[in-house]
Amino acid sequence: MWNTEKDQNRWKMKFILPEHNEALRQLHLKKQKIDRPTLSPEQIEEFEYTIATAMSEDLPLDFELYDDGFVREVNGRVVYVDHLRKEFRVKNNRDDTNFIKFADILNVKNASSD
């Protein structure tokens, strides 16, 4: 009598080489990537208004940013607008400065007061 379960387990991979594991991880990441969305002029105008209002009242904002196929979130206060580099400098609550390019903004809203 052959034990079919034992025969099947014999051919299962017992370990994964690091190269295979990295290749599987990269494939999984590639499947999750998104294309850069195109924003309408109205959306951009709304973002500008939200940012200007928050700067004048020193309020924190929640940014959603496009980052190489993924969406990254940044929270903080806009402390400087660099028109030459086309970026914002945003300080978070730990006093770290994030550099945010205008073109990477997908969404911006007032931070929730939780």
In a domain, 85, yes or no: yes
Residues of the chain with pLDDT under 50: 1, 114
Number of folded domains that form the chain:
1
Check residue 78 and give its pLDDT: 95
Tell me the torsion sign for CA atoms 29, 37, 73, 88. positive
In a domain, 68, yes or no: yes
In a domain, 26, yes or no: no
SS3 6: helix
Check residue 8 and give its pLDDT: 59
State the Cα–Cα distance between residues 24 and 37, nearest whole angstrom.
Answer: 27
- CA–chain centroid gap for 100, Å, is 12
In a domain, 90, yes or no: yes
- Which of 67, 69, 74 has its CA nearest to residue 109? 74
Check residue 109 and give its pLDDT: 94
In a domain, 99, yes or no: yes
Print the domain residue range for 53. Answer: 41-110
pTM as predicted = 0.68
CATH number for the domain spanning 78: value is 2.30.30.100
In a domain, 17, yes or no: no
Check residue 6 and give its pLDDT: 59
Check residue 50 and give its pLDDT: 94
Nearby residues of 102 by Cβ (< 8 Å), 6 or more positions away? 86, 87, 88
